[in-house]
């Protein structure tokens, strides 16, 4: 069963594979696996030898068949977890999900081997713990403890990312898949809160925003799934700021605000919004949604979007305002530039704008932002 669970050497880091890896190690924690069982299970899952070394115990090493192995090979990947070291020995170098396997195995080892054994050990992405970390009503001591139980370091900066999926899929699974496709992160925890996936990140490269990595990951997934068709991903992502661990709630609020500016129907560049990149635009979110909804340009855009080709016309307008170029907008939408020009002409006729006028382009962009906030 373990060998059939996942062929890491053949699979990309998609949602199903990543979530099953996490569930696999959560189950080992729940059943209080022994050190030997943990190493054997990791080797079976990865289908290559795995080893564990601790200061207070013997070196454990098992091959892919779950048999004890003594002749140690070269490590293709390794990780320290505070009470020892875990490694994989995959011939030919690491597979796509090896880093995720090592991280989850090390977190399981932290709970099973380092933390005192106790009944009801929390899940590694327990939503209750994540909510406690993100709350500004809880005591600092409680939030610090929750960070530690999640395997995060309270004295290191943390960044929160909010992810939703408008197709009705599990936003937590989609969030894990996107993060797994990006550059490696030091630690990542995902929990779904109120239909929104909250992703807590501690990056290896410090304070750098993951927004570009998430856009690239989303672009890759869209390109694989749509086979050249101009469709959105259905996923929206908001990226909060980099803050102290105890101020994670501030980053969570920023991530949810940025999420309101994101559009799932457009290109991935519009689907991922970084709060730090919004600047003064973030102030628009302070305007009551009723006032935004009643603004004449917003009402006119809504009315046009409800016509037969209106939704596609508005998508063309969004791409044009973002890129500033007819041809770049066409490339973004996988359309001929003449088709984009025709759709923009529909918008100009319906709203009385002249998009070659910088003032009208700014007016159109402002109306698009206001519409997003009013309909979120």
Q: What is the pLDDT of residue 50?
A: 93
Q: What is the pLDDT of residue 70?
A: 77
3-class secondary structure, 264: coil
Q: What is the pLDDT of residue 299?
A: 92
Alpha carbon separation from 50 to 59, 171, 313, 341 (Å, rounded): 11, 31, 55, 58
> What tokens were used for 22?
């996490």
Fold annotation for 287-375: Arc Repressor Mutant, subunit A (1.10.10)
CB atoms within 10 A of CB 307: 12
Q: What is the pLDDT of residue 359?
A: 92
Q: What is the pLDDT of residue 5?
A: 37
Q: What is the pLDDT of residue 217?
A: 81
- Answer for the pair 304, 269: CB distance below 8 angstroms, yes or no: no
Q: What is the pLDDT of residue 9?
A: 37
Q: What is the pLDDT of residue 49?
A: 93
Q: What is the pLDDT of residue 265?
A: 64
| Nearest CA among 277, 290, 255 for reference residue 164 | 255
> What tokens were used for 215?
């856009």
β-partners of residue 191 are 198
Torsion of CA 344, 349, 352, 354, to 10 degrees: 40
Q: What is the pLDDT of residue 161?
A: 94
Q: What is the pLDDT of residue 1?
A: 32
Q: Which residue has the tokens 């990006």?
A: 182
Running along the chain, 376 residues long, what does each successive block of 10 average in pLDDT?
37 60 83 87 91 85 87 86 85 86 88 53 62 89 89 89 87 80 74 90 78 84 55 81 93 94 75 91 88 91 88 87 84 83 91 90 90 82
- Answer for the pair 133, 146: CB distance below 8 angstroms, yes or no: yes
Q: What is the pLDDT of residue 256?
A: 94
Q: What is the pLDDT of residue 124?
A: 42
Domain(s) labelled CATH 1.10.10.2840 in the chain stretch across 287-375
- Answer for the pair 236, 271: CB distance below 8 angstroms, yes or no: yes
Q: What is the pLDDT of residue 230?
A: 43
Q: Which residue has the tokens 């209750």?
A: 128
């Amino acid at each position: 069963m373990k060998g059939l669970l996942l062929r890491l050497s053949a699979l990309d880091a998609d949602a199903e594979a990543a979530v099953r890896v996490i569930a696999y190690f959560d189950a080992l924690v729940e059943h209080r696996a022994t050190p030997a069982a943990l190493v054997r299970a990791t080797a079976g899952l990865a289908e290559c030898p795995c080893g564990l070394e601790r200061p207070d115990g013997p070196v454990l090493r098992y091959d892919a068949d779950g048999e004890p192995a003594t002749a140690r090979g070269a490590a293709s990947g390794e990780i320290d977890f505070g009470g020892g070291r875990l490694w994989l020995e995959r011939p030919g170098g690491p597979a796509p999900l090896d880093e995720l396997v090592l991280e989850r195995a090390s977190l399981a080892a932290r709970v099973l081997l380092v933390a005192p054994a106790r009944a009801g050990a929390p899940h590694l992405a327990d939503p209750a713990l994540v909510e406690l970390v993100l709350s500004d009503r809880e005591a600092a001591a409680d939030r610090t403890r929750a960070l530690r139980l999640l395997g995060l370091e309270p004295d290191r900066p943390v960044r929160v990312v909010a992810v939703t999926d408008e197709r009705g899929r599990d936003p937590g699974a989609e969030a894990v898949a996107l993060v797994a496709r990006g550059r490696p992160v030091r630690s990542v925890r995902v929990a779904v809160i109120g239909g929104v996936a909250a992703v807590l990140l501690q990056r290896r490269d410090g304070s750098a925003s993951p927004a570009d990595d998430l856009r690239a990951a989303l672009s890759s997934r869209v390109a694989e799934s749509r086979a050249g068709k101009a469709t959105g991903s259905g996923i929206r992502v908001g990226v909060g700021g980099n803050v102290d661990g105890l101020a994670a709630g501030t980053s969570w609020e920023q991530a949810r605000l940025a999420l309101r500016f994101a559009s799932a129907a457009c290109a991935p560049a519009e689907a991922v919004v970084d709060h730090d990149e919004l600047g003064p635009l973030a102030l628009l979110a302070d305007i009551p949604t009723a006032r935004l909804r009643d603004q004449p340009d917003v009402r006119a855009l809504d009315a046009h979007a409800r016509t037969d080709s209106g939704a596609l016309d508005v998508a063309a307008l969004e791409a044009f305002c973002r890129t500033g170029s007819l041809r770049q907008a066409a490339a973004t939408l996988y359309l001929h530039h003449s088709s984009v020009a025709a759709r923009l002409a529909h918008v100009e006729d319906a709203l009385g704008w002249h998009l070659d006028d910088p003032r009208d382009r700014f007016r159109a962009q402002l109306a698009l932002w206001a519409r997003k906030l009013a309909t979120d």
